[in-house]
A and B are shown apart, each in its own frame.
Chain A
Amino acid sequence: MALRLAGDFDTTYAHDMAVIRNRGQWVMTLAFLVALLGLPLVASSYIVSIINIIGINIVVVQGLNILVGYTGQISLGQAAFMAVGAYTSALLVRGGMPFWFALPISGLSAGVIGTIFGLPSLRIKGFYLAMATLAAQFIIPWFFRNVRTDVFGGMPGLVVPPPKLGDFVFNTQQSMYFVIVGLVCLTTILAKNIARTRLGRAFISIRDNDLAAEVLGIAPFSYKLRAFFISAFYAGLAGSLWAHYARAINPEQFHLIDSVWQLGMVIVGGAGSALGPILGAIFVRLLNEASILAAPIIGTLLPSLEASILAALGPMLFGLALMLFLIFEPRGLAHRWELTKAAWRLRPFAH
């Protein structure tokens, strides 16, 4: 349990449940929200584009965190569920439905498909479940590639219009920022609160010991399926955002490696906390950006370097940084953040 500031007592049940507990935290939260709203007005479109991509990743990883971090079920099909959301949204909006209605429907459609692929969790767990969910990563893209290519666009995929609100078209990084960040806030609040409800506590009990959970009256299969549904629902929302952000989708964009990276973001950020996916998505994206920026700089410093070596420098730096991070902080960034907060609150005492 996180340490509280001196004098921070629970005086009511509502206060006991509060996430934002005192005036200082309210001020900081409001200041953060104002900064978040004002950011696209001052930041370059490059910076905003990075935030947009991070935002989409946060939504999908928050969902995966509910499954992996809270419920203890491994999934390697999250990118495929994103594809379900992306194609649902693309088809509905191309068919004339406003994006704002297509967005939740995309989440629901991905949720239903995710639940189906979660069915094996009744019988298997751990690596075996990972292999079972891997099937989604093959079946779903195959479906979009080969079935009804007149509808799903086959391998070239579909062109997707940007979202609209009346006559306003969300076709710039700045305008999409508000859509994406708005949804990030909503889904993060939802994820945070799911963990604090009966549902969330049931998830955690299954993660910690599914047999003990069942003895306590929690139906593991039902709750595991609910976790799969919520996880895939988030992926569907993220898929819808991605489709309208990228404006062109095809099955290649929802690759197994993306699912692996989404799992990586949960691990790097810290599984089992709402902050973890945010920190994980930010860390991985920024590291990726840094590696993209580093290679040309090294190329300028060493102009005679062979092309293949030069090109490999970026990914090598990326891999090295990630490896070092996992060695020195295996419990994730969220855990490091908790330690930092605790150390700051206890200062100048060590314990």
Chain B
Amino acid sequence: MKKFTILGLLLVVVLVACAPAAAPPPAKALRTKANAGEVITFFHFGDITGPYAAITTPLVTGFNDAVKWVNGKGGIRGAEIKIEWSDTGGKLENAISVYNRYREKKPLILFMYGSPETEALRDRLIEDKIPSVTAGVSGKGLYPPGYAFGEVPIYSDQFGLFMDWLKANWDKVKPAKGQALDSPKIAILTWDTAYGRGALTDETKAYAESKGIKIVGQEFFAVGAPDVTTQILNAKKAGANVLYTNTLAHGPAQILKDAISLGVRDEFLIGGNNWALDLSMLALAGPASEGFYGPFPNLWWTEADHAGIKALDEQFKANARKPAERNVAYMLSFAFVDYARAILEKTIDRVGFDGLTGAAVHETITEMGEYKALDGVMILAYGKDKRAPSKARVIQVQKGQFVPVTDWMVAPDLRPK
């Protein structure tokens, strides 16, 4: 009897061992179509009534119009997009409380406006796994790589690109008069803020030196300062023939107007970063803006033959927006919504609607490579260790318009070490 029991047990063991593995349950098909009434919310917040107001206010109407436009085309795989926004007035404590309000709604993607909130929230974004595209592109907010992505090249990269162009074209673009015109000698005239000093880093200084360009001075002034003549004269005294500013609206406008009032405008080539190049600067500086240069990572409204600009223009007119809203912020919000739509659709293809999370969206952003938002109005490109795009054109103000003077250039990588 015992023999039979042992044999029986052995037989059971052999049968279990040889039994075919249980067939895996059939893979559940990914749900790539939205359920009826499904909504995806985009969140954006930042300074609309503080120091950046001159440029950021049209973000609100831009986002509303862009979402209406995408929803009109079927939304994101059938899901309707909604928008939630808040004004922080440029105060960090407001940004923190707004962020905490939004994070409870488990955002798939956020849009932020400024460097201060990007820098302060970067660790929280990582902990909460919420990807965020930001217009505040200080290197400190974006690197080491986390969940924040710049919508334009970081300020140090932009300054690097400007120096590349300056070096290559110096003989053609150098000022008519001025001192020691054999090579560019740059003075940085900028706001005494984190944003203002965004281009003034150890990396840009080292890069300038490697290109044989001298940074001969750095002069600071307050946001909204009504006079920068002292700073311009100091720059002249230091031997500068190029003035570069990392400010916006009244910043470049004040430099340009004061250079004219001092009678030294033709002794300097004057340029600034991309936010310096906006309608507000043209309006504030008036004819003084003529000849101002800067790196420009997007197309402009005057490039009316471009399909993306045409689409933007149609939406702008269809929503009866005022001329003052036809600025770069309106464009940025459209480009972001278009980019977010593309990213989310790609993520849905990979993980389905039910797998949509901030982490999944983050993974798509880092893997998707280059994306031409609005058919190329903005070129956005990120990677595993890259948190801001690199392409821009140098433009010049000519007869009150932004006119590109180069083709698309790639900025040097001057991220903080």
Contacts and interface: CB of A to CB of B under 8 A. Distances in A.
Contacts of B86: 292-293, 295-296
Nearest to B138: A156
A296 B320 CA distance: 20
Given A44-B104, A46-B104, A311-B49, A296 B96 contact: no
B194 A303 contact: no
A186 interface: no
B61 A306 contact: yes
B94 A311 contact: no
A204 B223 CA distance: 40
Interface in A279-313: 288-289, 292-293, 295-296, 299, 303-304, 306-308, 310-312
A250 interface: yes
A46 B100 contact: yes
A140 interface: no
Contact of A49 (B53, B57, B97): B97
Interface string A98-128: 0000000000000000000000000000000
A71 to B, nearest CB: 27
A171 B86 CA distance: 24
Given A156-B119, A310-B60, 14 more contacts: A49-B101, A53-B96, A155-B196, A155-B197, A250-B116, A253-B92, A292-B87, A295-B86, A295-B87, A307-B57, A310-B61, A311-B60, A314-B49, A315-B87
Contact of A156 (B61, B88, B122, B194): B194
A231 to B, nearest CB: 21
Nearest to B56: A311
B111 to A, nearest CB: 14
Contact of B104 (A45, A247, A250, A289): A45
Contacts of A252: 116, 193-194
14 contacts: A44-B104, A155-B197, A156-B194, A289-B97, A304-B320, A307-B58, A307-B61, A308-B57, A310-B57, A310-B60, A311-B48, A311-B49, A315-B49, A315-B89
Given A45-B100, A304-B320, A311-B49, A156 B94 contact: no
B92 A246 contact: yes
Contact of A248 (B88, B100, B119, B127): B119
A188 interface: no
Interface of A: 44-46, 48-50, 53, 145, 154-157, 159, 171, 173, 245-248, 250, 252-253, 288-289, 292-293, 295-296, 299, 303-304, 306-308, 310-312, 314-315
Q: What 10 A-B pairs come out closest when comparing CB atoms?
A: A49-B100, A311-B48, A46-B101, A307-B57, A248-B120, A155-B197, A307-B61, A46-B100, A308-B57, A307-B60
Given A49-B100, A247-B123, A156 B53 contact: no
Contacts of A296: 84-86
B116 A292 contact: no
B387 interface: no
Given A248-B119, A315-B49, A154 B197 contact: yes
A173 B99 CA distance: 12
A156 to B, nearest CB: 5
Contacts of B89: 314-315
A294 to B, nearest CB: 10
**Chain B interface bracket (under 10, 10 to 19, 20 to 34, 35 or more):** 35 or more
A310 to B, nearest CB: 6
Contacts of B116: 250, 252-253
Interface in B127-180: 127, 138, 140
B94 A246 contact: no
B56 to A, nearest CB: 8
B325 A307 contact: yes
A50 B101 CA distance: 10
Nearest to A258: B91
Contacts of A310: 57, 60-61
Nearest to B327: A307
Interface string B177-215: 000000000000000111011000000000000000000
Contacts of B87: 292, 295, 311, 314-315
Contacts of B123: 159, 171, 247
Interface string B53-67: 100011111101000
B128 to A, nearest CB: 10
A92 B138 CA distance: 26
Contacts of B196: 155
B88 A246 contact: no
Interface string B77-108: 00000001111110011101110110110000
Contacts of A155: 192-194, 196-197
Contact of B120 (A247, A295, A312): A247
Contacts of B98: 292
A328 B91 CA distance: 28
Contact of B94 (A288, A304, A306): A288
Contacts of B119: 156-157, 248, 250
Contacts of B101: 46, 49
B324 interface: yes
B371 to A, nearest CB: 26
Given A247-B120, A292-B98, A53 B84 contact: no
Contacts of B319: 304
A299 B61 CA distance: 9
B322 interface: yes
